[in-house]
């Protein structure tokens, strides 16, 4: 049955009015009063220019990444990043002899191993070409591990940024659409999806939220702690974020009509805690609305949440949206952005 767009729009507007009563107290939207517009236009213009100048992604579909184990260790003093990535993979093409990944030439590849043994590789034009130990038949599993370090550049909308808030250092990433390669070796295409374990080694006074479920926070005894997140739903490279600062953390809850509970883990700037709690309080009601429109929240076995960052807007990182601090003013002025990013969990994350 075909449904007229106007009827759908009217129905959606009615549901929003019922489900989000806080919107009733918000004054009518006037673009002249919106501080985001000028900031966002600047970001978008710079993003288009940078993306247009970049080398194309490798888009190597001759092999498939099934699971990624990612270790990241940012150095705030030197503003560098080191790490390792391991891809548990499978050959797609018969006779697979070489694989290609995306990785910025500004970064340094230290080692490449296949199934634990060193293999030959080259790194040029923002790509790593790895010569496998021998041709692989289609369907053959293999592991690829890379060590790397460097000072990441930043492209697009700010793929890797060192900044601060209220005098406290902040590291934030926003890799959409092809900026993940600026800071880690990957297949930087949206349709390469995999499960992941992520290990963020950060200063112990800071928090490092991430996708999926938190498995542990381990004190390393050297002033750093390692946050281990596990994402058991499929994810792609640009939906992975590394965002680190002195967050204040609190948990809200959504309970579905069937009685299933979903934690909403929010990591916000401590100096803006009260405003953040107020503006993000609509999240459970918004999830209920999206559930009624699109079906159950697609990551119901894990979590949803937010992590504050410096950007003028927000980004739908999987299960943990990056939310610009400017959005969280305490007056529900940007409720539409909270709902917009939530909707991306269905369309943009689960469906990419």
**274-313 confidence digits (pLDDT tens):** 999 999 999 999 999 999 999 999 999 999 999 999 999 9
In contact, 80 and 149? CB cutoff 8 Å: yes
How much is the average pLDDT of 211-221?
A: 99
pLDDT band at 193 (very low <50, low <70, confident <90, very high): very high
Report the share of the chain in percent with pLDDT over 70. 85
* Cβ atoms 274, 331 nearer than 8 A: no
Report if residue 147 sits inside a domain: yes
Residue 13 located in a structural domain: no
- Residue 190 placed within a domain: yes
pLDDT band at 31 (very low <50, low <70, confident <90, very high): low
Total structural domains within the chain: 1
State yes or no: pLDDT of 42 exceeds 90: no
Mean pLDDT rounded to a whole number for the chain: 90
What is the span of the domain harbouring residue 72? 63-239
pLDDT tens, 253-267?
999 999 999 999 999
Asked if residue 97 belongs to a domain, the reply is yes
The mean pLDDT value for 31-45 works out to 54
In the chain, % of residues over pLDDT 90: 83
Confirm whether 49 is domain-assigned: no
86-117 burial, b at 16+ Cβ within 10 Å, e below that, comes to: bbbbebeeeebeebbbbbbeebebeebbbeee
What the block records as the tokens of 101 is 């990944």
In a domain, 77, yes or no: yes
pLDDT, one tens digit per residue, over 59-108 is 899 999 999 999 999 999 999 999 999 999 999 999 999 999 999 999 99
CB 322 within 8 A of CB 266: no
Q: Is 332 a member of any domain?
A: no
Task: Give 148-172 pLDDT, tens digit per residue.
Answer: 999 999 999 999 999 999 999 999 9
* Per-residue pLDDT, 32: 56
Q: Is the pTM of this model over 0.85?
A: yes
Burial class for 258, CB neighbours closer than 10 Å (0-12, 13-18, 19+): exposed
Positive or negative: CA dihedral 199, 202, 205, 206: negative
- Kindly report the CATH number assigned to the domain that includes residue 141: 2.60.40.1730
Range 110-136 average pLDDT:
99
Task: Evaluate whether residue 89 is within a structural domain.
Answer: yes
């Amino acid at each position: 049955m075909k449904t007229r767009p106007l009827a759908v729009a009217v129905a959606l507007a009615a549901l929003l009015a019922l489900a989000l009563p806080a919107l009733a107290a918000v004054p009518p939207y006037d673009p002249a009063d919106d501080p985001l517009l000028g900031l966002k236009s600047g970001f978008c213009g710079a993003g288009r220019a940078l993306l247009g100048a970049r080398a194309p992604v490798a888009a190597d579909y001759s092999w498939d990444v099934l699971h990624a184990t990612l270790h990241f260790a940012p150095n705030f003093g030197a503003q560098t990043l080191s790490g390792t990535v391991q891809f548990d993979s499978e050959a797609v093409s018969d006779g697979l002899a070489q694989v290609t990944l995306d990785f910025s030439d500004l970064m340094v590849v230290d080692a490449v191993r296949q199934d634990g043994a060193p293999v030959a590789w080259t790194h040029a034009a923002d790509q790593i070409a790895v010569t496998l130990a021998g041709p692989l038949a289609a369907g053959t599993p293999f592991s690829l591990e890379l060590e790397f370090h460097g000072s990441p550049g930043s492209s697009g909308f700010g793929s890797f940024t060192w900044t601060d808030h209220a005098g406290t250092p902040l590291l934030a990433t926003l890799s959409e659409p092809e900026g993940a390669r600026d800071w880690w070796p990957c297949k930087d295409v949206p349709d390469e999806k995999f499960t992941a374990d992520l290990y963020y080694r950060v200063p112990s006074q800071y928090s490092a939220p991430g996708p999926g479920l938190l498995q542990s926070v381990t004190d390393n005894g050297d002033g750093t702690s390692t946050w281990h997140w596990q994402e058991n739903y499929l994810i792609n490279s640009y939906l992975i974020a590394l965002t680190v600062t002195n967050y204040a953390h609190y948990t809200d809850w959504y309970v579905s009509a069937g009685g299933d509970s979903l934690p909403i883990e929010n990591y916000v700037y401590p100096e803006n805690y009260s405003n953040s709690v107020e503006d993000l309080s609509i999240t459970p009601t918004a999830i209920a609305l999206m559930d009624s429109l699109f079906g159950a929240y697609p990551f119901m076995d894990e979590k949803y949440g937010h992590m504050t960052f410096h950007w003028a807007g927000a980004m739908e990182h999987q299960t943990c949206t990056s939310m610009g601090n400017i959005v969280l003013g305490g007056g529900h002025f940007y409720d539409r952005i909270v709902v917009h990013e939530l909707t991306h969990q269905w369309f943009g994350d689960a469906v990419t």
